[in-house]
Every structure is written in structure tokens, then in C-alpha cells.
Amino acid sequence: MAEKKDLARRAQGQLKVTMKVNGKEYTREVEPRTLLVNFLREELNLTGTHVGCDTGHCGACTVMMNGRTVKSCMVLAVQASNAEILTVEGLARRDGSLHPIQKAFTQNHGLQCGFCTPGVLISALFLLQRNPRPTEEEIRRGIEGNLCRCTGYVNIVKSVRAAAEAMSGGNAMTEKEMR
Amino acid sequence: MSVTLQQQRKEEPRGRLEDLRLLTGKGRYVDDLNLVGQAYMGIVRTPFAHAKIKGIDLSKAQASPDFVAALTGDDLVKMGVGMIPQNDWPPPQRPTTTYHLAVGKVRFAGEPVAAVLSRTKNAVEDLVELVDVDYEPLPAVTSIEESKKGKALIFEDWGDNVVQRDETKWGDAEKAIASAPYVVKAREGIARQHAAPMEPHSTLVQYKEKDDVYEVCATVQSVHGLRRQLASTLQLPPAKFHVKVMDVGGGFGSKGAHAYPEPPLACIFSRMTGLPVKWTATRTEEFLEAAAGRDEYCDITLACNGDGRIVALKADLECDVGVTGTQSFMSSLSVWTMLHYEIPNVEVHLAVYATNKMPVGPVRGAGAPEGCYFIERAMNKMADKMKIDPLDLRKRNLAPRKPEEANDIKLIDSLVSRSRYEELLRWKRDVNSRFKLQGPTHSSLVAGLGVSFGGRRSFGGDEDEGEEGGSGAGPWSSDGDSAQGQGKESEEGKDWSKDQDESDEGGSSSWKDESEEDELEWESEYARVSLGQNGRVTVYTGSSPHGQGIETTFAQLASEELDVQLDMVKVVWGDSVLVPKGIGTFASRSAVTGGSSVVDACRKLKGQLIARVSELAGTKAETFAITDGRLVDTSRPSGTYPTVSEALKRLGVSEISAESTYKGSSLTYSSGVHVCALTLDAELGTAKIVKYVLVEDCGRMINRQIVEGQLEGGVVHAVGGSLFEKLAYDEHGNLLTSTFVDYGIPTAMDSPDVEVFHEVTPSSALNGAKGVGESGTIVGYAAVMNALNDALSFIRPGAHVDIAPATPDSILAALHHSNKP
């Protein structure tokens, strides 16, 4: 009896959330306490965005929300209602070819275990959109919110620098391609 | 060495085989996996470091609609589940009696007391909170001092809190010190530190009743290690567990040999309920439970003669292993690492203590960073005392009569010849000439330069044998010089294993399952290589990658050996069925052991193929070779020969394969010389590393990018460990640093650019490689701390910080209090 009551109460407590993720619109009913990162991972099966801590410090869950980076473990799914979200799964072009940032990371060995990488890529994109020619100091500041235990950041910095060169060089990408 | 340096210079691929999936969000880490109908496990953890469990009330949790099942320690005892398995290496260690869920009392804050199973993910933490546990707190032992005094007993039946005592001795250190012209003494140490891989631990288990098999996915550095743990805990044959893993988000030791309770608990739940069971640690659970390391302290005395040759080393090592558990061997490795110079008179005492803290385990370097730190910090103190260059002092103590030491001298010369050292010395003088303590325009930045040498070279196997007591002779070696070797049973080197034999009753289960036939030797690793008619090569390895790029490295080795394109090679790992045996990835071992067994298997495969083809062709096998996917008879270079796939078709086989458990003479490691340049803000007490240069002998670099990535990451690990990483506890044993807010690991802003140079010398490994995964960390601590102390002594002669991390508090205390050198 108590169980039924509880389930009914919970069903009433569900909220409808609609958001555009990587260009595609999704609607789901979720508990109000559902975090954006869990919404992406559990409801949409976009498991490229990772959970490395629960306090907003590691940055593994970094995604772009309406053009700005957010740590998706610090945002409720309902707060992202009607937002446009970009996750690592939306970085490569539709034909599967890699984004210049992704290319730069593989060529410069900017990842080892790969767990922090999706968040780092999103932070790097945000940085390069605002500052196409960052200095080493600016790159380090730009990814300061993403912890990496494997690389010591040496090759991450190298990768972001290479991406900056590729993106602002002869074959600069259009705004649309960069999303 | 069978691999030439010419081969090494061959064009290397850029980018790894692993990268595409990891860069596009398609990696498959354990928490990314879900099974239909899965339930979620939560762990009830004690908030007390030491307390009796008076009762556990599950009724509130049971009343929740999300409740599926629960387990307590008493349940495990009733089910006949085994205790937490222990390593018996190195002896003698005290045996412990702890369960996967506490029975009777808890021994560290965060220890699992009960487990609950929830229908939904969101409700897991609610259910955990609904479990009421009645505790009667006991005094908590939170330091080595309290442990020695016996403030309380961690294990009542021990009578004290000593886990292990050991002694390494040759010559007469006391006498040599008494007559030496130069003697330095110090108390050094490295605090307790967290491994902190970015991916928390996770487990997904499904018990398949039909086959009576547990399908287990877990974040591990060795699927076979976890299979052994599950088999011994649940007292079932290893074949009942199919352990798998694909991508692992870093380990640094914490996902290695230490036995955690969650995988066996998830197995029990899955069998009880028939549901798939998932568990993923929160970061706080990581901090509370994932095996931390270090927590070692050393009173060291070093004596030199007038020529700057070390004549004696005397050291008392103390190590706090918390509630000693699966792995407590790290301080023994510290002793071995300390002895990388040849020293004629040595006396090292080791004492390992239990406290009410989480059990430690190996963390990147596993005792070697501590040992290297102790000796290399003392070497710098000696150089200061003798007023000679610290690099010069090291050179004087590396004897060129031994080939490996001649190589080490080469590393130092290489650093000097590249003029990096000179440049940094100049930079230091410039910065420090601007520093004035008084005046309106003063700079508060002081520069410091530190060097460190690491040369642990080889471990285990034959290389240790026959050496005079010096570098390479570990404290447990059969060398008659060690107290253990003489079978001496005094307080030092007491043989606890005798006690263990007598008290070994009541389900204490051994780590090694004797019934298991696939036990491999430590110096080996399993590989199988198969070649199909389609020309594709599959490498099956017991190595277990979690960031090291093993997929790429091993594919390169197979492609090279069998002369096929890299994209024709597939590497299979992390599956206890597809790969029947293995040791795993830790201890800088995979390129050396796993890589060599891949090479060996490839050569066997090639030999088999050529033997069979030449038999068919009626020619001599010796003249056949595989070139560019074709079998070529080198004695008749103009003939037409079949491709490998044609040859297999003619032989009437779909594939040919060969296995190897290649065992080298020993594990072999890189050696290196590191230089750290930092600035210290004398007002704030903060240090920033501005440049880090190292010259390393990594042997043959199968993939240079990967090798350098390991070194760079290792160095930054040591930077964090030297400057700010510390697991802090209050006087009741509560962990004060349970998030990344309180326990900082280096960010990009804290980390230096690391410049890596190489000197390549032969290795004892079949593929020419040397282990590099931990070198950066092992050598890094002393380089950073020596640089810091260099800056400190510029501000105030005699000021020093010898316990890492050198936090701003300890730096300011050193600058403003009158501690004596």
C-alpha cells in the first residue's frame, strides 16, 4: 500500500524536460533532482560526458550549454530545459571526420586514459572560440577547470596550441562548422 | 639486445589506436555500461575510525519502495564468504582478519558496514541513509606515535600494532659514520597521498544462473587479479568468473592489487536477487576507500669520505599502512630504492605500523618514490655540506666499472652537455639577484634549483643474484647479507608467518589460489598472437591498459615482428575468457613483460609458419623470412612466393597462432636525472615550478610519444605530491580531505612544462624496452623538494622542509621559525 502511494507521488513529481543536444531535440520525464550529467548519460545514453567527482571540480562532465561551458554535474536537467547542449559526441562532423581539436589531440598525444578528455575538448573549444590565438598561459588558464591525472598537461597544452593553429590557419573553419 | 637502434628510428605513427573512440565519446568505461533491469548497490560506511558495532537496523531501509536487498558483515560470515585476501609478499607480515563488510568492529572511517541494493539510481543514497548503525566509539590510533604507544589495538590478537619489522645490513655503518669527515642527518617523509585516477571505481555484475557464471565488469588494472580475488573470497573456482573491462580511466596503482569489497558484494547481490548489480563510487568514497600510498618517514644518516664517496648509510624507516590489508609491501621497495648507489656500510631498519586509517596500497611508484626521495634529499644535503655541485656528488658515487652505472654517468653528462643545467643556474642567479628582503620595490620571488637521480634499473629475477651487497640487492633477496637471509629471528625480522600458521583458522583466505593452474611468474606476462588467412593479426595480452597506450604499443610490436601494416593488427585485453591468464598492468611492467611476450609469441608464430611452409616446399627453414606479408626464400630471391594467407590456405589451416609467457631475467626500469627549477614566494610561502628538465634512459622507445607522455605525467604527479597533496585526518581519524576541494591535484596552472631528453642504452628485455610508467614520479619528488629547499636556504640559511608536501604553512614555518639544518 505504502509502496503504491509512493510510486504515485513520484509519478506526479516527474517533470517534463525538453532540450536540444548536439542539434537533436529530446523530451523526457525526469525526477526534479536529476542532474544534467545523469540526464545525458542515463536518459539519452550519451556516455561520453563523464562523472569524475560530485563537487564541480574535476571538469570531466563539462559540456556547452547555450554557448558557454558548464559542469553538468552542477546543473539540474530542469535548469537546462529548452537549452542547446553540445557534448563530445557532437564535436565531429556529421560525416564522421574529426573536429580540428580532436585531430590535434590525437596527433599530439593529448590524452592517455581518455576519461577527462571529453571535458577538456569542450573547454578547449570554448577557449578557442573566444580567443583563437591563446598564449601558453591563456591555454593553461582556459583548461584549469579540467583535472587530468595522466598527461601532466604538457601534451594537452601542445594539442590546444596545434588546434588553434589549425583552426585559424589557411583552412579556417566557418563558425557553423565550429558550432 | 635483439632490437637495433636503427629499428627504433623507423617512422613512428602519430596518434594511438585508442584515440578515435576516446575522442568521440565512444569509449566504454564501466559506468557507461548498463544492463536491463539492473539494481544499484550502495555502501553504508562508518563515520567512526574505530568503534564497536552494537547493532545494525535495516528496518527503515527495508520499508522503502526502492529497497531490494541488504547485506551485513554477519550475513557474510553466515554465508561462509572468505575474508579480505592478503598478499604474503614480502614476508614477514602480520596476518589480518578483516571482512568485506565489518564484523564486530570498524577500523577506519569509511569502512563498509552494510550494503544495500536499490531499484533506482537516485534512491541509492537515500537507502544508505536509512540504515541505522549503533556504534560504541573506541579511541582511534591516527599516527605512528599513537600506534607505537598502543593507544588502542587495531587487531586485539596481535598484542601491539606492528605489522612488520625488517632489517637490511652489511658492513658496519655505525663505525664508518663515527670516523667519516662528512655526516648529514635528517628526518624526511612523504605524507599519505591519494592515487586519484579521474575515473572512480565501478562494478557491474550479472550472475547467469543457466551457466552458473558471474559476468563481472570492473575498473581494474588486472582482470585476472580480480578473478583470483573473487574466487578466493567466494570460494569458487576461478572459471566461475568471467571478468571483463575495456576502457579504464586511470589507476596509478589504486585499481591494481588491492582487494576492494564492492565486486564480491555485487556478485553476492546478483546471485541473491537474479538482477544485474551496478555500483559506482562517488569521489568521496574514492577518497575514503581507494588505496592511498606513501605515509613513510625516515631518519637518515649519510656519511661521506673526503673524496665525496658515500661510506655509510644508516636509516630508520617508519611506515603507516593504516588497517593493513591486501598490499603493504611498499616500504620494502623504499629500502631497495634507497640503495641505488653502491654503499659499503649499510644499516636500514624498517618498522611498519597499523593505524585506524584506510589500508594503503601501491600508488605510482609503490614505495620507490619514498626511497628515492630519502636518499636523493640526503645527497643534496651532503653536497651542500661539502660545498660541491650536487650533480658532481652523484657522479662520484656512480662507479664507471659497472656498465649500468657508466650509463647513468652518461645521463648526467648528457644533461650538462646540453647546457640546460648551466642555463638554469644562470636563471637562478638572475632571479635571486633581484630578490631583496627590504626596500619599496623588492621582489618576493626566490629561485631554487634541485636535481635528483633515479636508477632502480632492475628488479627480481637473476640480475640481483651474485651482486655484492649494493645496488640491486633488495631487502628480501636471498643474499646472505640481509638479516632475513640468515634466518635470524630477533625482534627485527621476526617471522610472523609462524604465528600465521598457528592462527590460520576460521576462513582466512590466501591471496593466491593454489588450485589455480594458470599462475604466472612475476617477471612474465601472457600473450597469444594469431594470424588468419585474411592476413589479420590478433594479439591477446594479459596486460591491462588504463591510459598507457598498450593497444598501440603492442600492435606496433606485432606489426614490426610479422611485417604487416599496423591496421591489420587488433589487440585484445581485459577479458578473462578470451585471454586465459595474465598478471596485469602496474609496476612499470607492461612494455617490458607484456611487450616482450608479444614479440616472443610473434617469433614463435613466424617460426611455426616457416617450418611448415618449408616442409611443404621441401626447402630449408633457415632461408625463409616473412617480408611485406609474403614468405620469401632468401636463398632464391627471384622466385615467386606465396603471401602469408596463401600459405595458410595451402597448409589447410584457417589461422596459425602461438602463445608466450616469456620471462625475462628481471623487470628492468629506466633511470634518469631530473632538474627542477622553481620560484618561491617568500611572503606567501607558495612555490611555482617554472621549468623541469630530465634526461632519461628508457631503453628502446617503442612509441616515443607514449614514453614521453608517461614521464611527463609522472613528473606532474610528483609535483602535486611535493607541493600540496595530503590526506589529512583529525585526531579522531576522520578524513578531512574527501573532495577535490580539500585534496588538490595539480591543475594546468600548477604544472610545469617538462622537457624530456633521452639516452638510449641496452635493456635486458627481449624488445629492448625499459619500464617508464613510474620513473617521473619516483625521481620527481626529490627534484622538486631539493629545488624548494635550495630557495628556502637562500632566504634563510638552514631553513628546510623535509616532509612532503611542502605546503605554504610548512614553508612559512620553516622561514620564520628557527629549525636547525
Q: What is the CATH number of the domain that holds B70?
A: 3.90.1170.50
**Residue at B487 is within a domain:** no
Q: Are residues B775 and B716 in the same domain?
A: yes
Q: Does A53 touch chain B (CB under 8 A)?
A: yes
| Per-residue confidence (pLDDT) for residue B505, from 0 to 100 | 35
Nearest to B23 among A54, A117, A150 (CB): A117
Long-range pairs, B486-491, Cβ under 8 A, ≥24: B491/B165
| Per-residue confidence (pLDDT) for residue B515, from 0 to 100 | 41
For residue A6, name the pLDDT band (cuts at 50, 70, 90): low
Q: Are residues B778 and B681 in the same domain?
A: yes
Q: Which of B660, B687, B718 is the last residue of a domain?
A: B660
State the cell numbers at B34. 548498463
Q: Are residues B656 and B673 in the same domain?
A: no
- Tell if the CB–CB gap between B14 and A146 is shorter than 8 Å: no
Q: Are residues B541 and B654 in the same domain?
A: yes
Q: Are residues B708 and B783 in the same domain?
A: yes
Instruction: Provide the CATH number for the domain around residue B675.
Output: 3.30.365.10
Q: Are residues B799 and B709 in the same domain?
A: yes
**Residue at B638 is within a domain:** yes
Strand residues in B661-796 grouped as ranges (E): 667-668, 671-681, 686-697, 754-758
Q: Does domain A100-178 match CATH 1.10.150.120?
A: yes
Which residues 719-778 in chain B show a CB within 8 A of chain A?
719, 739-741, 745-749, 751, 753-754, 776
DSSP characters over B423-482: HHHHHHHHHHHHB-SSSTT-B-EEEEEEEEEE---EESSGGGTT--SSTT--TTSS-TTS
Distance of CA B396 to the CA centre of its chain: 31
| Per-residue confidence (pLDDT) for residue B484, from 0 to 100 | 31
**Residue at B377 is within a domain:** no
- Tell if the CB–CB gap between A106 and B15 is shorter than 8 Å: yes
Q: Estimate the share of chain A in helix, then strand, then coil, as percent rounded to the nearest 5.
A: 40, 15, 45
Q: Is B588 left (phi over 0), alpha (psi -120 to 50) or beta?
A: left
DSSP characters over B41-63: EEEEE-S-SSEEEEEEE-HHHHT
- Tell if the CB–CB gap between A48 and B25 is shorter than 8 Å: yes
Q: Does B705 touch chain A (CB under 8 A)?
A: yes
Query: Taking the CA of residue B456 as centre, how many other CA atoms within 13 Å lie in the half-sphere pointing to its CB?
Result: 35
Q: Are residues B656 and B714 in the same domain?
A: no
Task: Report the C-alpha gap between B249 and B230 in whole angstroms.
Answer: 22
Dmax over Cα atoms in chain B, in whole Å?
Answer: 92
Residue for grid cell 627534484:
B783
Q: Helices (H), strands (E): how many in chain B?
A: 22, 28
3-state secondary structure B98-130: CCCCCCCEECCCCCEEEEEEECCCCCHHHHHHH
Task: Report the C-alpha gap between B193 and B191 in whole angstroms.
Answer: 6
| Per-residue confidence (pLDDT) for residue B612, from 0 to 100 | 87
- Tell if the CB–CB gap between A147 and B16 is shorter than 8 Å: no
Phi, psi (rounded to 5 degrees) for A17: -125, 130
Name the H helices within B687-774. 704-723
**Residue at B506 is within a domain:** no
Distance of CA B614 to the CA centre of its chain: 46
Cβ pair B332, B477 in contact under 8 A: no
**Residue at B228 is within a domain:** yes
Residues of chain A with CATH 1.10.150.120: 100-178
Q: Give B76→chain A minimum CA distance, Å.
A: 29
Residue for grid cell 553466515:
B78
- Tell if the CB–CB gap between B24 and A2 is shorter than 8 Å: no
Name the H helices within B642-774. 644-651, 704-723
Which residues 128-157 in chain A show a CB within 8 A of chain B?
136, 139-141, 143-157
Q: For residue B104, what are the contacts with CB-CB under 8 A and spacing of at least 6? A: B52, B53, B73
Helix axes B775-795, B368-386, angle to 10 degrees: 30
- Tell if the CB–CB gap between A102 and B714 is shorter than 8 Å: no
- Tell if the CB–CB gap between B709 and A113 is shorter than 8 Å: no
Residues of chain A with CATH 3.10.20.30: 2-88
Q: How many CB pairs under 8 A join A and B?
A: 191
DSSP state at residue A44: S
Q: How many CB atoms lie within 10 A of CB B157?
A: 10
Q: Which of B640, B660, B680 is the last residue of a domain?
A: B660
Cβ pair B572, B529 in contact under 8 A: no
**Residue at B793 is within a domain:** yes
Q: For residue B797, what are the contacts with CB-CB under 8 A and spacing of at least 6? A: none
pLDDT means over runs of 10, chain B (821 residues):
39 81 97 97 98 98 97 97 78 81 97 97 95 98 96 94 93 97 97 97 97 97 94 95 96 90 97 98 96 95 96 97 82 88 94 94 93 97 96 88 76 89 93 71 85 77 38 32 34 42 36 51 92 93 95 95 91 96 91 95 93 81 77 72 82 92 84 96 94 94 96 97 96 96 95 94 90 95 98 93 96 79 43
In chain B, how many domains are there? 3
Q: For residue B264, what are the contacts with CB-CB under 8 A and spacing of at least 6? A: B81, B100, B229, B230, B233, B234
Q: Are residues B649 and B533 in the same domain?
A: yes
List the one residue out of B579, B624, B628, B348 whose CA is nearest residue B469.
Answer: B348
Q: For residue B538, what are the contacts with CB-CB under 8 A and spacing of at least 6? A: B529, B530, B532, B569, B570, B571, B572
Phi, psi (rounded to 5 degrees) for B537: -115, 135
List the one residue out of A55, A72, A177, A60 whose CA is nearest residue A128.
Answer: A177
Going by DSSP bridges, is the β-strand pair A84-86/A15-21 parallel, antiparallel, or unpaired?
A: parallel
Q: Are residues B41 and B22 in the same domain?
A: no
**Residue at B351 is within a domain:** no
pTM value is 0.91
Q: Are residues B611 and B742 in the same domain?
A: no
Which residues 265-284 in chain B show a CB within 8 A of chain A?
280, 282-284
Q: For residue B156, what are the contacts with CB-CB under 8 A and spacing of at least 6? A: none
Q: Are residues B81 and B45 in the same domain?
A: yes
pLDDT at A176 over 80: no
Nearest to B19 among A55, A106, A118 (CB): A106
Nearest to B709 among A55, A112, A114 (CB): A112
**Residue at B341 is within a domain:** no
- Tell if the CB–CB gap between B747 and A147 is shorter than 8 Å: yes
Q: Are residues B533 and B451 in the same domain?
A: no
Chain B residues with CB-CB distance to A148 below 8 A: 198, 748
Instruction: For domain A2-88, give the CATH superfamily.
Output: Beta-grasp domain (3.10.20.30)
The residue segments making up the domain with residue B21 are 5-26+524-660
For range A23-49, the mean pLDDT: 96
Phi, psi (rounded to 5 degrees) for B190: -130, 130
Q: Which of B660, B683, B716 is the last residue of a domain?
A: B660
Cβ pair B195, B291 in contact under 8 A: yes
Chain A residues with CB-CB distance to B283 below 8 A: 52-55, 58
| Per-residue confidence (pLDDT) for residue B459, from 0 to 100 | 60
